[in-house]
Chain A
Amino acid sequence: MFDRLDPAARDVLDRAARQARELHHRHVGTEHVLLGLVLAGGPVARLLTDRGCGPRDVHAEIVNRVGEGHPQGRPGELLAGLGIDLAEVRRRAEATFGAEAVAQVALRPRPRHRHWPVVRRWWPGCDGGRPCASALLDTEWLGCAPRLKRVIDAAQLRATPAQVSPAGLLAAILDEGHGLACRILADRGVDLPGLRAAVRSAPLPGGQASA
């Protein structure tokens, strides 16, 4: 899936997901990736920071527009509230069926509705980009906003056969042009075509192939 990302771009997405979790959002969207890009440092972050989009600015814009979600307990904590000892349930399941079978079941995508076929797994346990959880593994996965999925796919397609760099991610977000990230940039007075040109021409390590 997101297999053609270079380590720096992976780091950006990791940061984006961490920020989404801290905001108690259930999806990762272009706005979180923008925040991840700014937080990751390096030439791309400098391009953005120089245009008045520092980490604090972007974070404030996201809170302003999307708000903060509700903190949700992990499945283990929630089930403990019902008097269920999840660790014990898992221990018994693994003793009976084996750890491998338990992990297999927990990681299999589960459509929540019979009319939503599982088309493609985006990341473990996640079907069609929706956020989902495994009680047995006591884990929750963030969803991936459809637009972000498209943006990353486009970046990967353009970067072939090279890997996508952070510059490639930003270029794809700007080219798609309708995400929350673009609206945040535009509303902060950033000249989007100018930024796009800067991303393309800047001497970014590994960025030329994708930008």
Chain B
Amino acid sequence: MTTATVLQGRGLGGGVCEGEALVTREAIAGWGGIDSRTGTVIESRHELAGQSIAGKVLVFPAAKGSSGWSGIFHLARLEGVGPKAMVFNVMNTKIALAVVVSHVPCVTALDQDPVEVIRTGDLVRVDGDRGVIEVLKRKDVNASGI
């Protein structure tokens, strides 16, 4: 038995959920970065290009690019293709407004870098009210190649 990985940070509300993590080391663009109709990352130069954020616990360092950030996450929520939770490092107005309009658990300012600690495919619990993230089950390391 290994001890569960727990990260403590600042909860931004939105309740509690469990889901599969989608992790990127690159900042994410909203408008022009994600298709609000499908949740697919469309930024050609992004490492997640072609993958979908729909229903995922999105773990990323920061929000970048156009002021349409919140608008895209807002529409993605209404289309049913928004993320299930958001975990990020750098606070700015783009992500703050998206936190408000996404209506999902969100946590920031964590005691460990979530982008380093959490891996794509991990099953995680995000408590947006208490600011706690638990890695419940690691993705098969061999399969992920990490």
Q: Do A and B bind each other?
A: no
Residues of B within 8 A of A (CB): none
Residues of A within 8 A of B (CB): none
